[in-house]
Amino acid sequence: MKKTSTRLADGRELLYYDSRDDVVRDAVDRRPLGPVGTDSEIRRDRLLGESVAIASHRQSRTYLPPADQCPLCPSRDGRPSEIPEHDYDVAVFENRFPSLAGGTGRCEVVCFTSDHDASFADLTDAQAALVLDAWTDRTAELSQLPAVEQVFCFENRGEEIGVTLGHPHGQIYAYPFVTPRTERMLRSAAEHRERTGGRNLFDDVLADERADGSRIVLRGEHWTAFVPYAARWPYEVHLYPNRRVPDLLGLDGAARTEFPQVYLELLRRFDRIFDGAAGAAGPAGPGGPAGPGAAVDGKRASGEPPTPYISAWHQAPFSAQGRGEFALHLELFTIRRTVGKLKFLAGSESGMNVFINDVPPEAAAERLREVAST
């Protein structure tokens, strides 16, 4: 991997990650951009003890532009974009409309490919490995900023999720605090360790799922994907490295090599779960082939739009007590519960944070096994 750092016209950092060492990145951003104006602040909810980011400047961010005006495509034919080069492998830059800024953290955009019409599931193993390298490098770099406590790499896909740019991309949030969800995990891990005489909660969850097997979606030599026992979302998969590490920096070479194969397969299955023709197929074992009529290569015979999803890396905070007990893992889920219907966070979920799931986790796991690639 070759990393090249430069600056955009308004001073924001732009980084290129290339698979070839001989690539030269010297294009200059000549857009007449004014300075970035942010109005971000962190407020504390005294009742819940949680932080809330207030970022009114985001109301003016770019919203669903036509493909020929996409700011994440390379600059071409006199149409400048956020990427001055005419092509790129992976590009990362500071968000012009950040939720967190200055002393309140940092927000970055990660462009997975220059191909506007692709998705992450369309990447090759080598391209996905380069994205993993970029996530890892950004985690290492952002961890050195004095205000940053936790780095969150994620992807939102689909207008149903709220995506405002159609180009395949994700984001990285560098929080100046430990997020509420992570705090709860760390607390649960500490309570489990005390209750069990020193056992690790994440290790036990993974071991229990592998022993039970009914919710296993895919087994690799270095990774395991399963639907959690108490899944909140209709189709939700957690992906764990079989050897516990606190963050992306802890992954060894073997796990990094296998990750693209496992993750791309999961994404392609998500693109097939709502295919009506595949729904008639019989169940297959974990990692087994799809049944007759299943969609292939991420295409849906039913004509259903691509599955909207959120893909989220959970990494240990840098200075939190219990960091060594935390386990890196990825959580992938969709808000679609069946063809043409979404899972809305209504009264119980939004008002009391009590989820009601319409799809039994065991049934979701079986469906995700049915649509495995042949």
Compute and round to an integer the Cα radius of gyration of the chain: 21
Instruction: From 149, 164, 118, 157, select the one nearest 42 (Cα to Cα).
Output: 149
Q: Do 19 and 130 touch, CB atoms closer than 8 A?
A: yes
Report how far apart, in Å, the C-alpha atoms of 109 and of each of 49, 99, 208, 374 are: 29, 12, 36, 34
Catalytic site residue 238?
Answer: no
State the Cα angle at 158 between 241 and 171, rounded to 5°: 55
Q: What backbone torsions phi and psi does residue 314 show, to the nearest 5 degrees?
A: -105, 115
- Which residue, 90, 97, 91, is CA-closest to 130? 90
Query: Residue 216: how many CB atoms within 10 A of its CB?
Result: 20
Q: Report yes or no: 284 and 372 within 8 Å, Cβ to Cβ.
A: yes
Q: Which of 81, 154, 110, 126 is nearest to 15 (CA)?
A: 110
**Sequence-distant (≥ 6) Cβ neighbours of residue 290 within 8 angstroms:** 272, 278, 281, 284, 296, 370, 371, 372, 373, 374
190, burial (CB in 10 Å: exposed 0-12, middle 13-18, buried 19+): middle
Residues 167, 169, 222, 314: which is the catalytic one?
Answer: 169
Query: What contacts 109, CB < 8 A, 6 or more positions away?
Result: 72, 82, 92, 93, 94, 95, 169, 170, 171
The whole-angstrom separation of Cα 289 and Cα 370 is 7
Catalytic residues, which ones?
169
